Amino acid sequence: MTDVQTTRYDDQKPGTSGLRKTVSVFKQPHYLENFVQAIFDCVPELKGGLLILGGDGRYHNDVAIQTILRIAAANGVAKVMVGKDGILSTPAVSNMIRQYGANGGFVLSASHNPGGPDGDFGIKYNVSNGGPAATSLTDAVFERTKVMEHYQIADGHVDLSTLGHSNLGAMAVSVFDPVTDYADLMETLFDFETIRRFLTSDLSLIFDAMHAVTGPYAQEIFVRRLGVNSDALMNATPLPDFGGGHPDPNPVYAKALFDRMFGDDAPDFGAASDGDGDRNIVLGRGVYVSPSDSLAVITANAHLAPAYRDGIKGVARSMPTSRASDVVAAAMGIESFETPTGWKYFGNLLDAGRITVCGEESAGTSSDHVREKDGLWAILMWLNILAVRRLSVQDILTDHWATYGRHYYSRHDYESVAADKAEDVMARLQGQLTTLPGTTLRKETISAADSFTYHDPIDGSVTENQGLRVMFESGSRFVMRLSGTGTAGATLRLYLEAYEPKDGDHHADLSKRLEPIAAIAEDLTNLRQTVGRDGPSVVS
């Protein structure tokens, strides 16, 4: 074991989802080592403990895993379980931590950000409930990185290409199959027999793994266990640079999937996941299900899947996610919660048994089976619902809107804008918040406007400045916030939501229906001119 005198970095503050930087930043001497050592310093129970380790297979994954193994050995970890070839999806890490009672786990991923030598890399620490570390821990880790002077590292190398047990110094290392336990878990939650019958007789499916981590999981679950033909899988081989694309399932980066689903002879059902397998999108023939609607539909229909047969306890959504799930929860008489963006905020509610399902507009949906969002879980939930109800995706949505009303919804991203300009836009809106209520703009009267503060009902913690909300009497709304996951400049997100009650028009053109709300947002913020853009970089 070597004790290395290190050079500190001052930029190791984890964002919405761990420490995410370009590969070039991570390749600086001691950069990863410092961050990992800081975690060991802040989580003493890892000494003598069990750790889960894996990532989405992106460039630098293999190098980083060897480094983490060597630091773990030097810090007295008793055992590390690492996915074969260093592969583990984010929800699979969460499941492994829970299933094997591990003290924690590392997820190596920059999620949907591009990979490769010029792409991004990331590391996130998950705690013993399987979920991302709370802000109190990530803050402590950041503070530690600013004062630490040494890290400990052992010598050695682990062959990750062969299943089995070995040792690195005194630490046991187990290289395991990353797919089986996760696929088994899915089989306990959903009615695979009914889904299999439906998929092999009535429903055509395509799934786009985007050359990212879900390829092997999809192969096992869809092809081997559910009988789908393997040509239904697109881009199912994980590649370190994701084939040069962004593994982000949105209309821009999953264009081939969208083209198929909106083209002639579209299959009945299309879906995709992201780099590390925690996100999902669902499409029907000629229809895209907004993630906010997906959460609402799942809330209303989860009881059709075996594990949720007795009903769900409650539902939570992140603040910018549309309020569609609130309406379902109210009708069902269950609790609903609004949390800040970031999966970690669902952890307490899940652990306390207050909610069963939760989701975010950013294509994340999951339940209490793990403590991460789970792309394949959401897709299987949809398949289970479709297989029982025997309706098309469009018919499910149409029926849902007729029952609960529709929240037309869209997110406009202004990516990589100058950080000071983005701050100016936020400050401009923030400065008007107190005077807005009661004002009528473009025939919409503002009922409330605020900067979102979350009071965690379980531990009483308070999280401020989580985005600006402008609410209208019509039930419509817009939200503006700065992304916490970007690595270049700032990304401003504008979330538009227009409510149409259950007897209204649910089939209007989406952008037309949102136009007045978008125009008010522009009036109030002068967004486009301030950041010097004609329009958003991505609309989803």
Positions in the binding site for Zn ion (CB under 5 A): 111, 274, 276, 278-279
Backbone angles phi, psi at 490, to 5 degrees: -120, 150
CB 246 within 8 A of CB 235: no
Smallest separation, CB 486 to ligand G6P (Å): 6
CB of 371 to ligand G6P, least distance (A): 12
* Helix (H/G/I), strand (E/B), else coil: 23: helix
Q: Which of 33, 248, 338, 360 binds ligand G6P (CB under 6 A)?
A: 360
- C-beta of 18: minimal distance to ligand G6P in Å? 9
Say whether residue 280 binds ligand G6P (CB under 6 A): no
Q: Could you confirm whether 322 is annotated as catalytic?
A: no
Q: Among residues 267 and 484, whose Cβ is nearest to ligand G6P?
A: 484
Whole-angstrom CA distances from 77 to 57, 153, 420, 505 are 23, 12, 43, 59
Q: Compute the least distance from the CB of residue 479 to Zn ion, in Å.
A: 21
CB of 105 to ligand G6P, least distance (A): 15
Does residue 235 bind ligand G6P (CB under 6 A)?
Answer: no
* Exposure on the CB side of residue 26, measured as CA atoms within 13 A: 28
Among Zn ion, ligand G6P, none, the one that 484 touches (CB under a kind-dependent 5 to 8 A) is: ligand G6P
Q: Tokens for 65?
A: 């895993």
- Amino acid letter, 503: D
- Judged by CB under 6 A, the stretch of 20-28, 324-332, 359-367, 387-395 that binds ligand G6P is 359-367
When CB distances are held under 5 to 8 angstroms depending on the partner's kind, the choice from ligand G6P, Zn ion, none that residue 362 binds is ligand G6P
Exactly one of 484, 508, 533, 539 binds ligand G6P (CB under 6 A); that residue is 484
Question: What residue 91 binds from ligand G6P, Zn ion, none (CB within 5 to 8 A, per partner kind)?
Answer: none
362-381 binders of ligand G6P (CB under 6 A): 362, 364
Angle at 126 between CA 120 and CA 128, to 5 degrees: 170
Instruction: Compute the distance between CA of residue 393 and CA of residue 285 in angstroms, rounded to an integer.
Output: 8
* 231: Cα within 13 Å, side-chain hemisphere: 1
Choose among 332, 366, 320: nearest CA to 347: 366
Residue closer to ligand G6P, measured from CB, 111 or 145 = 111
Instruction: Output the smallest distance, CB 273 to Zn ion, in A.
Output: 8
Which residue lies nearer to ligand G6P by CB, 320 or 405? 320
What are the C-alpha distances in Å from 495 to residues 63, 187, 292, 322, 394?
Answer: 38, 35, 11, 9, 23
Q: What is the DSSP code (8-state) at residue 302?
A: G
- Which CB, 314 or 375, lies closer to ligand G6P? 375
Q: Helices 375-389 and 180-189 meet at what angle, rounded to 10? A: 30
Nearer to ligand G6P, 152 or 365 (CB): 365
Catalytic entry in 89, 94, 109, 111: 111
Name the packing angle between helices 291-301 and 324-332 (round to 10°). 10
- The contacts found for 433-441 with CB under 8 angstroms, 24 or more apart, are 433/468, 436/470, 436/524, 441/520, 441/523, 441/524
Residue 111 binds to ligand G6P (criterion: CB under 6 A):
yes
Q: Minimum CB separation from ligand G6P for residue 509, in Å? A: 26
* Residue 274 interacts with which of Zn ion, ligand G6P, none, CB < 5 to 8 Å by class: Zn ion
The interface mask with ligand G6P, positions 336-355, x = CB under 6 A, is -----xxx------------
From Zn ion, ligand G6P, none, interface partner of 276 (C-beta below 5 to 8 A by class): Zn ion
Show the beta-strand stretches assigned E in 304-399: 314-318, 335-339, 357-360, 364-367
- Site residues for ligand G6P, 282-341, by CB under 6 A, read 318, 341
| Structure token digits, residue 351 | 């652990």
Active-site positions? Answer: 111
Interacting residue ranges for ligand G6P, rule: CB under 6 A: 16-17, 111, 318, 341-343, 360, 362, 364, 483-485, 493
